[in-house]
Amino acid sequence: MINLGDWQQTLNDEDQLKRFDSAIKFECTPIMFNRDEATATFQGKSHRYLTSLNDCECVDFIRNQKACKHMYRLALEMGLLEGTFESNVLKISNQLSTEDALTFINILSDEAQKIVQDFLYYHLYKKRENYGYIKSTVLNELLNNEIFIVCDDAAALFDPYGRNELNEKIEPYSIPGFKKNLKKEKLVKWVIATAPNIITELTSDAVAITLHPKFTKTKRKVYSHLKQKFPSEDNWL
C-alpha cells in the first residue's frame, strides 16, 4: 500500500495535478467506499471501476500506470492526501423515482421483497452499508434485478453464521491463538487480522451485498412500503 509520503510525491507533474483536480469534484464521488479494505467503486459513463490505493480498473490507469483520479479520490477519502472534496452520490448515479422504485420492488417474489425489507432495516436503523447473506436463488433474483450489487466486505461475509458455527469451521485449521469463547464480533475481527487467507473457504456459501445506488433517494419510502405490506415481519422492531 502506498504511504502518505508516496501519495504526496505522485503530485509531481502537470498531468497528475489535473487528475487530482478531477478527483475533488462531486462527479468523482464513489458509489461505494470500504475504509477497512481501502477500496472504492466509481461510476463511469458506461462502466464501474473498482479502485484500490495501488490500482484501478479504469482505462487511464491501465494505459498510463500512474495514479488516476479515482485513486486520488480514494486517497482523499482515506485521509492519505489533504484536500477539500465535493460529494454527491445522488448526482452521479441515476436515481429512480418513487413510482419506478416501487415498481422494481413489487415485481419481485414475496421472499425477495422480505429480504429487501430486512436489509433496509439494518441499513437505515443500524447504519449497515453492507450485509452478508447465504447464496440462493432468491438472492440471485435480487442481484439480477439490480436491487442489490455485490460488494467487497470481508466482515459482512460472516453475517449469516452464528458464533458456534464459525467455531466449528475454524477449528480444523488449528490456527495458533484460536479461542472458542470469543464473542462473534471479536472472533470475526480475529480471523480477518490473523488468518485472512481462510476467509474465502469459511464463507464460501455467502456473499456480501449492498443496495444499488439508484435506490439511494427512495430507500426510506421503499422500506415504509414494505413495512406496510409485510407488517407481521417486523412487529419486533
Average pLDDT score over the chain: 89
User: Strand pairing partners for 210?
Assistant: 130, 149
Measured distance CA(220)–CA(27) in Å, rounded: 24
> Residue 57, exposed/middle/buried by CB under 10 A (0-12, 13-18, 19+)?
middle
Beta strands 39-43 and 48-52: pairing type?
antiparallel
Nearest alpha carbon to residue 74 among 10, 150, 146, 143: 10
Task: Give the pLDDT score at 235.
Answer: 43
C-alpha cell at 100: 419506478
The length of the chain in residues reads 237
Tens digit of pLDDT for each residue in 13-35? 899 999 999 999 988 999 888 88
Task: Give the pLDDT score at 46.
Answer: 65
Compute the half-sphere exposure of residue 191: CA atoms within 13 Å on the CB side of its CA. Answer: 27
Low-confidence ranges of the chain (pLDDT < 70): 1-5, 46, 90, 92, 232-237
User: Strand pairing partners for 51?
Assistant: 40, 56
Long-range contacts of 81-88, Cβ-Cβ distance < 8 Å, separation of 24 or more: 81/4, 81/7, 81/8, 81/20, 83/20, 83/24, 84/24, 85/23, 85/24, 85/25, 85/28, 86/24, 86/25, 86/26, 86/29, 87/26, 87/29, 88/26, 88/29
pTM as predicted = 0.68
User: For the chain, what are the domain ranges?
Assistant: 4-91, 98-161+203-234
C-alpha cell at 84: 477539500
Nearest alpha carbon to residue 157 among 119, 201, 123: 201
Tens digit of pLDDT for each residue in 72-97? 999 999 888 888 998 877 676 778 89
